[in-house]
Amino acid sequence: MNSSRDEDLHAVETRIAVHEAVCAERYGKILDRVTRVEIVLYAIVALLLFGEGTVIEAVKRLLG
């Protein structure tokens, strides 16, 4: 009876370890994607602020 219980415990521990490894890999990939999205958003903001015919140009026209 105790041997079966130990086997079940070992099986559960193995499944949890595999699950944690898979989740860690997924998390790393998600973090990479989020970082790329952040870079793209920063580039878009920079273009909107400093590109030709942008917010800065509109403010310059309004102020002077």
- The 10 Å CB-count burial string (b at 16+, else e) for 44-61 is eeeeeeeeeeeeeeeeee
- pLDDT tens digits for range 5-46: 989 999 999 999 999 999 999 999 999 999 999 999 998 888
Better-predicted residue by pLDDT, 53 or 27: 27
Better-predicted residue by pLDDT, 63 or 36: 36
pTM over 0.85: no
The reported pLDDT for the residue numbered 1 is: 56
Identify the H or E element spanning 26: helix 2-50
CA–CA distance, 1 with 54 (Å, rounded to integer): 75
| Residue ranges covered by each domain of the chain | 2-63
CA–CA distance, 26 with 40 (Å, rounded to integer): 21
